[in-house]
Amino acid sequence: MPVLDEERHLEDSVRQVLEQDYEGRVEVVLAVGPSSDRTEELAARLARADPRVRTVPNPSGRTPDGLNAAIAASRGEVVARVDAHAEIPPSYITTAVRVLDETGADNVGGIMDARGTTPFERAVATAMRSPLGVGGSRFHVGGGAGEADTVYLGVFRREALESVGGYDPHFSRAQDWEMNHRLRQQGRRVWFTPDLVVTYRPRSTVRRLAAQYRGYGRWRRVVARRHPGTANARYLAPPVMVAGTLAATVVGLRWRPALVVPLGYAAAVTVGGWVVAKGETPAVRARVPLAIATMHWAWGIGFLTSPASLADGWDDQIR
């Protein structure tokens, strides 16, 4: 578990791992970054309170560095990635190990079940569970079990992780997709199962959501540069939308019919957002179009403005 500024969630996240119903031995390795809150103090206290919990330093605070440090310090034949923002059910490890055994897969994962508390968080969660917001990835919207390009978090065979050298420390974002791509290049199997459902807590403000999705777009462009041919239509849709909408808006200043493009996008997001939020409160439904548009535009702008230097090793970690 890589942790940075996670005072609010860390104790609950660790408790959920320690309360797993798995019959084998479980250990928790916390890779602790230089936090601005009491995360480091809390992690140390948790380690003192339970011998199953250990900490390792992550001086850079970057996710791939923390993951690799925690993996190196762990001892099990199965390695489960858990995030402090995620909430795993008691049967998570038991189910994952069973699916690993039944399928022969090298990494298994399930559904990223976004759930919010405030109206905006619930709007973001609604958008994240909808193809209109994030496309058709099964770990977002659900679906049948089977091989997948990537999965949420992941429960791995240690041997498979070691065979590809773990997470590429270059990737501040998209490190899961990139590492799973290398697993699949080796002929290994990444498996999605709807039997694993992990509660995810979305960003709480428009600014934080935009920063998150801008980072996703920027780093997904780096993956496309590193691994040509991996950018499919779903990943290209947001940057194409941004470029097309902006161009049509500029043309529309002189030729009004072109404004049908930005107006059509706005109408589609508004109506679509209301439809996917059916059953939610009016306060949530009113915010879903904003959440969807923020995700689309931030991802698309991030992809379009991603500098080539990122692929060469320059890092712009967004915390």
Query: Rounded to whole angstroms, how far apart are CA atoms 127 and 143?
Result: 17
pLDDT tens profile 94-143: 999 999 999 999 999 999 999 999 999 999 999 998 888 877 777 877 78
Q: Would you say residue 314 has pLDDT above 50?
A: no
Q: Is residue 249 part of a domain?
A: yes
The tally of domains found in the chain comes to 2
Picking from 48, 46, 85, 78, the residue whose alpha carbon sits closest to that of residue 63 is 85
Q: Is residue 178 part of a domain?
A: no
Q: Count the alpha carbons within 13 Å of 130 in the hemisphere toward its beta carbon.
A: 23
- Examine the fold and report which residue of 76, 108, 139 is the final residue of a domain before the chain moves on: 76
Q: Is residue 99 part of a domain?
A: no
165: left (phi over 0), alpha (psi -120 to 50) or beta: left
pLDDT confidence bin for 81, thresholds 50/70/90: very high
- Examine the fold and report which residue of 76, 111, 138 is the final residue of a domain before the chain moves on: 76
pLDDT, averaged across the chain: 91
pLDDT over 90, % of the chain: 74
Q: Would you say residue 88 has pLDDT above 80?
A: yes
Q: Is residue 117 part of a domain?
A: no
Q: Is residue 232 part of a domain?
A: yes
pLDDT at 73: 95
Q: Is residue 172 part of a domain?
A: no
Q: Which domain holds residue 21?
A: 1-76
pLDDT tens profile 159-192: 999 999 999 988 888 888 899 999 999 999 999 9
Arithmetic mean of pLDDT, 144-165: 92
Q: 308 vs 16, which has greater pLDDT? A: 16
pTM of the model: 0.84
- Examine the fold and report which residue of 76, 107, 127 is the final residue of a domain before the chain moves on: 76
pLDDT at 312: 64
pLDDT confidence bin for 8, thresholds 50/70/90: confident
